[in-house]
Structure 1
Amino acid sequence: MTETPALHALWPAPLADGTVHATVTVPGSKSVTNRALVLAALAAEPGWVRRPLRSRDSRLMADALRALGVGIEETASSSSGDGSGGEAWRIIPAALHGPATVDVGNAGTVMRFLPPVATLAAGDIRFDGDPRSYERPLGQVISALRALGARIDDDGRGALPLTVQGGGALEGGVVEIDASNSSQFVSALLLSGPRFNQGVEVRHVGTALPSMPHIRMTVEMLRAAGAQVDTPEAGGEPNVWRVAPSALLGRDMVVEPDLSNAQPFLAAALITGGTVTIPDWPRRTTQPGDELRRIFTEMGGSCELTDAGLVFTGSGKIHGIDVDLSEVGELTPGIAAVAALADSPSTLRGVAHLRLHETDRLAALTAEINGLGGEVTETADGLHIRPRPLHGGVFHTYDDHRMATAGAVIGLAVEGVEIENVATTAKTLPDFPRMWADMLAGAGA
């Protein structure tokens, strides 16, 4: 494994000197891993999570559950260095208890999924994290839990840091919530809902929900663990989800590759006119990253699902795109990076909520691409990108893993791009610099 670059050191983004031809094994999905950990911790019997993502976000989730009393036994690390391989975690549920302190880092899944879990613990559970975590939306989860019977001390901030005064159980019931800033607000309540005395009925009362595939992921994983879930898609009321109280089953679950993290590697094929294969790409999935097949094909590539995985090939041309990314907002930085290199303008819509992610991603993308000579304009709900000849320079990441990979994508075609704090990719993509170098060498990862 390569050495992790110093936190704010500048990493020279490698320039592609030809077409990329590589097979890249992408680590497991963060979204699936962290949901699986929560459901396994709340189950009535032990379970397994196989091929989990080993990254900062998943370690924060595992460490937090351990602090609450859950047993998590990890096998030895895979020798492949990609965070997957044959690795497995055995999850041994236990009576949740405090006092404990949970470090959420800047992980949205940890800061939002675990306060509902903490209401089921006996004792006080304090939540704290990185400075940026204090600015990220959490008030709707806090107010919803209070409405369901929880006691939470946040000094009126509606944000971190906070303390959940766990009583060992939560009454649950019906609650209204405005989840227009993050679908994680809904998922947070649904995941713990089976353990609430009355279950939970979550009624979204705001504007359009972003990232609906992530809610569908939560629902499917709950059902696989034995929960009864009623959803709008199943003929229920619009924007209403119901989870009945029940015991959850311990499962033996294999985590899919993180399709969103495949984005920079697929982009490399698109930009260089090469071919990249991603093994184990699922034929059916709730992961938003599966939309990359459609979006990058529209931008000039072609793809095929084979026994070897997803085979994506660039045509040597990159076309602009007008696309609504409201359900797949996490893909925006990578798409913006590719769009900055296209042969025509692009409009990325439906992603106003990205202003509240790890950083204000719309402002960050505008500043960094324009800093390299681009022409990006913020709109009310997205970005308009006019391709311009780009030049080298420092691409700042704002401690945001997807900003770092977006900068690396641009660096494939633009000489002299330097990524500030590429180590932030460890949030979800361990050892990204090595994987990137191996891909460019054609050696795979």
Structure 2
Amino acid sequence: MDTLAIPTPNRPVDATVEIPGSKSLTNRALLVAALAQGDSILENALFSDDSEYFAKCLEDLGIPIALNSQLAQVQVSGKGGEIPNKQADLFVGLAGTAARFISALVALGNGEYRLDGVPRMRERPMGDLLNVLQAGGVNINFEGNPGFMPYTIYGQGFAGGHVRLPANQTSQQLSALLMIAPYAQQDTIIEVEGTMVSQSYVKMTCRLMADFGVEVTQTNENLFEIKAGQRYQARQYTIEPDASNASYFFAAAAITGGRVRVQHLTKQSSQGDILWLNVLEQMGCQIYEGDDYTEVRGPEQLQGIDIDMNDMSDLVQTLGAIAPFATSPVTIRNVEHIRYKETERIRAVVTELQRLGVKVEEFADGLRIEPSAITPTAIETYHDHRMAMAFAVTGLKAPGIVIKDPGCTAKTFPDYFTRFFQMLEN
């Protein structure tokens, strides 16, 4: 399907929805389960392009994976830090987590591992992680620009020790190092240089590592210590619903003055994007929390907000998509790093808002969106799942919105539009 028209209901949304498992937690759990010894069962795992690329890479490395999409269950037969296959050609698509986590994993192996992805993945930053691996004794051969895919990693174990890593463009490289550090040859101290973006994702990584039996000591905001010799313990583990993907359903309640309840997701989530609930509350929504659900009820009209979204930057598009309906301007700050995501996200949001007739100002690390009448148009999605999912929400309030390339949501939420339209049927 090349395009998809979004229906505009004449009433507030009123629905209870189920959201698939978190991409971020699924991919982290896949990595640590692969490093554990024995069989782990991941329940409510996400089945999407990103997670399936990750699982395929693990299989290509000789780590048995059993997928059951009907039960949303993955069995990983971990090899205790060993990588059975001594040679593999690994393709990660556009999956940044797979690219960074698999690159770190194969450094522990004893073999030759080539990694590549789609053209956009070849433009995304990898160099800071690779520099640390090289300093730790790993040889890497770059086929094109140093620091970018495609490249071949000649694994021979990771030395550990005191390493320095910038994390100003992505926190995924830091998470990758944290997760392999227990299997280093000596204790690892990771010193983050400069400003760290998306700190909530690093906290998620450390929490998941602890769930599998490995402790990280964080002595200050930028210093992490991981003792060598710790080992992940195989276990049964339930993945939380994806808070980032829940944001679109909560946003639907927000702009229609309706009610949406998301099952099995609460503010106790380990995912930083649960902070979206605070954003909506500041904009006038009411939030209700039960033992095993969260519900958002939207106001008659949203209020504007001026907000630092560094720690929930995957939600910039969600906020951008509902911002024109607020009573006053919405300003989003401190998210320059999203220019290096699946697409150049600040520019993409600005461009599509302008296409909708919205008055918007772009600056280096964010944007300012004015309350505006919406012009019917077709939204370019730039192969970016979050562009498609976010601007579908705009169509609930403004007639005539068409999403181009709706299939790009397969990256993290293959049946997004099925569930989105089911929400409107209630």
Distance (Å, rounded) in 2 between the aligned partners of 1:87 and 1:404:
24
Is 2:196 the partner of 1:212? no
Instruction: Report if the CA contact (8 A) 1:43-1:247 is conserved.
Output: yes
Residues 310-321 of structure 1 aligned to structure 2 (within 5 Å): 310-321=294-305
Q: 5+ unaligned residues in a row in structure 2: which ranges?
A: none
Residue identity opposite 2:179 in structure 1: L
Which position in structure 2 is the counterpart of 1:189? 177
After TM superposition, what 4+ stretches of structure 1 lie above 2 angstroms from structure 2? Answer: none
Which position in structure 1 is the counterpart of 2:128? 140
1:249 CA drift (Å): 0.9
- What do the CA deviations read for 1:326-379 (whole angstroms, capped 9, x no partner)? 111111100111112211101101101111111110000000010010011111
Among candidates 322, 328, 332, match of residue 344 of structure 1 = 328
Among candidates 11, 25, 33, match of residue 4 of structure 2 = 11
Residues 22-101 of structure 1 aligned to structure 2 (within 5 Å): 22-75=15-68, 77-78=69-70, 86-94=71-79, 95-96=82-83, 97-101=85-89
In the superposition, relative to structure 1, how do residues 308 and 38 fare at CA in structure 2: closer, same or farther (>3 Å)? closer
What SS class does the counterpart of residue 112 from structure 1 fall into? helix
State percent identity of aligned pairs. Answer: 35
Among candidates 353, 366, 374, match of residue 390 of structure 1 = 374
Residue identity opposite 1:313 in structure 2: R
What SS class does the counterpart of residue 277 from structure 1 fall into? strand
What SS class does the counterpart of residue 374 from structure 2 fall into? coil
Distance (Å, rounded) in 1 between the aligned partners of 2:187 and 2:395:
49
What SS class does the counterpart of residue 337 from structure 1 fall into? helix
1:170 CA drift (Å): 2.1
Is 2:147 the partner of 1:158? yes
Instruction: Report if the CA contact (8 A) 1:189-1:200 is conserved.
Output: no
1:283 CA drift (Å): 4.3
Residues 188-337 of structure 1 aligned to structure 2 (within 5 Å): 188-206=176-194, 208-231=195-218, 236-245=219-228, 246-307=230-291, 309-337=293-321
What SS class does the counterpart of residue 38 from structure 2 fall into? coil
Distance (Å, rounded) in 2 between the aligned partners of 1:199 and 1:226:
16
Distance (Å, rounded) in 2 between the aligned partners of 1:71 and 1:340:
48
Which position in structure 1 is the counterpart of 2:421? 437
1:311 CA drift (Å): 1.3
What SS class does the counterpart of residue 123 from structure 1 fall into? strand
Instruction: Report if the CA contact (8 A) 1:68-1:121 is conserved.
Output: no
Residue identity opposite 2:193 in structure 1: V
Among candidates 90, 102, 105, match of residue 114 of structure 1 = 102
Q: 5+ unaligned residues in a row in structure 1: which ranges?
A: 79-85
Residue identity opposite 1:248 in structure 2: Y
Please, what TM-score do these two structures have when normalized by structure 1?
0.92
Instruction: Report if the CA contact (8 A) 1:277-1:308 is conserved.
Output: no
Distance (Å, rounded) in 2 between the aligned partners of 1:148 and 1:308:
44
Which position in structure 1 is the counterpart of 2:14? 21
Distance (Å, rounded) in 2 between the aligned partners of 1:252 and 1:240:
30
